C-alpha cells in the first residue's frame, strides 16, 4: 500500500502535526470527504487519541498536484471543538 502524507494544523493543541498513513492506491480518486475519513480513521487507530469527529467547511481536491485540502472543526471526545486545516497528498 502506498503512503500518504498529511499536514494538520489546529487550534489550541499546539499548531502543526505531520502524519503518514497507508491507504489504497486509488485513494486520491475518491471524493475529498472520503479521503479525510480515511485519514481520521488512521489517526484513531494508530495514535490512540480517542474518538474524534469533524465538521467540514470546505474541501478541495487538486488533481494536478495530487493534494486534498480540508478545513473545518475537529471535535474531540470531550466535546472540545477546534478549527483545523488539513492537507493530504501522496509523495
* Domain range annotation of the chain: 3-89
Q: Confidence band (pLDDT; 50, 70, 90) for 75? A: confident
Residue 40, C-beta contacts closer than 8 angstroms, at least 6 positions apart: 52, 54
**Is the pLDDT at 28 greater than 80, yes or no?**
yes
Task: Give the residue with greater pLDDT, 67 vs 77.
Answer: 67
Residue 91, C-beta contacts closer than 8 angstroms, at least 6 positions apart: 3, 5
Q: Confidence band (pLDDT; 50, 70, 90) for 53? A: confident
The whole-number average pLDDT for the span 26-52 is 87
Amino acid at each position: 500500500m502506498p503512503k500518504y502524507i498529511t499536514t494538520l494544523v489546529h487550534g489550541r493543541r499546539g499548531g502543526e502535526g505531520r502524519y503518514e498513513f497507508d491507504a489504497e492506491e486509488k485513494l486520491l480518486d475518491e471524493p475529498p470527504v472520503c479521503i479525510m475519513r480515511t485519514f481520521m480513521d488512521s489517526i484513531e487507530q494508530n495514535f490512540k487519541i480517542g474518538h474524534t469527529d469533524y465538521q467540514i467547511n470546505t474541501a478541495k481536491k487538486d488533481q494536478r498536484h495530487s493534494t486534498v485540502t480540508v478545513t473545518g472543526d475537529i471535535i474531540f471526545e470531550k466535546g472540545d471543538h477546534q478549527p483545523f486545516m488539513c492537507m493530504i497528498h501522496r509523495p
